[in-house]
Copies of this chain bind each other. A is one copy, B any other.
Amino acid sequence: MNRQNTEELSRAEDSKNRILLAAEQIFSHKGLDGARVDEIAAKAEINKRMIYHYFESKENLYVEVLRRNYNKIYNLTKEAIVPGAAPQENAERALRRYFYFLAQDEEFVRLVSWEALQQGRYGSKVLPELLYLLQEDLGQILREGIEQGVFRQDLDIRHTLLSIHALCHVYFNRHDMVQPMWPTDRMSEDMLESRLQHILDLVFHGILSPTKRADFSK
């Protein structure tokens, strides 16, 4: 009985998962309005009815997909911070981790972007966590760096966080711009690393404290 229950449960759990996975792909590519429930059902290889059984509505399924995705970054940067390490080192580690997380999961990037355009109507319940992450973890690194005199004293932390976010996302986001700019495969190891290096370059040599640089006469 117990085993049977377990089996049953796992079958249901499996179906739910297949739906979520299919939905994730389709929502991330076509958005909420562009996605078709039939298409999701077909991709999940399940009867459309089950989608409503498990998620009640298309909109709700979308929110669930969002929630699942936002959860992915919960523990992402936390681990990146090594207490006692140099702020610059911590920052680079966190940034690199963030960048490669996005590289690994373009669907996440796209979902976040759809949400942004839809004015966060659906994800607003789950978005704050993303901001929390950026502001608390990455922000913490920046604050420490400023205190220790490694980063510029006049650094605007919030703008900097937004900029880091932008510099990473744009590469995965703006498919349409990136593709025509480079002949190489956008997602090749080399290309990724070169983009990350550019970001680190840009970010650090903009945020390094004046004492680290002799001439800061703008």
Which B-chain residue is minimally distant from A128 (CB atoms)? B180
A199 interface residue, CB < 8 Å from B? yes
Known interface pairs A215-B212, A216-B205; A163-B170 also in contact (CB < 8 Å): yes
Cβ contacts A145-174/B at 8 Å (1 or 0 each): 000000000001011111101110111011
A113 to B114, CA, bound (A): 9
A174 near B201 with CB under 8 A, answer: no
Looking at A130, A176, A215, the one whose CB has the most chain B CB atoms below 10 A away is: A176
Asked if A40 CB lies within 8 Å of chain B CBs, one says: no
How many residues belonging to A are interface residues under a CB distance threshold of 8 Å?
Answer: 62
The 8 Å CB contact of A202, one of B119, B128, B182, B202, is: B202
Kindly report which residue of chain B lies nearest to residue A135, judged by CB atoms: B181
Task: Establish whether residues B116 and A173, one from each chain, have CB atoms under 8 Å apart when the complex forms.
Answer: yes
Contacts of A170 in B (CB 8 A): 162-163, 165-166, 169-170
| Minimum C-beta distance from A169 to chain B (A) | 7
Whether a CB of chain B sits under 8 angstroms from the CB of A33 is yes
In A53-85, which residues have CB < 8 Å from any B CB? none
Contact B123 A176 (CB under 8 A): yes
A9 at the interface (CB under 8 A from B): no
**CB neighbours of A204 from chain B (8 A):** 206, 218
Decide if B158 touches A163 in the complex (CB within 8 Å): no
Are A176 and B206 interface neighbours, CB within 8 A?
A: no
Q: Say whether, besides A201-B206, A205-B205, A176 and B214 are in contact (CB < 8 Å).
A: no
Bound-state CA distance A94–B161 (Å) is 24
Q: Is the CB of A177 within 8 A of B162?
A: yes
Task: List the 10 shortest-distance A-B pairs measured between CB atoms, nearest first.
Answer: A214-B214, A120-B176, A166-B170, A33-B33, A202-B206, A159-B198, A166-B166, A33-B34, A205-B206, A206-B206
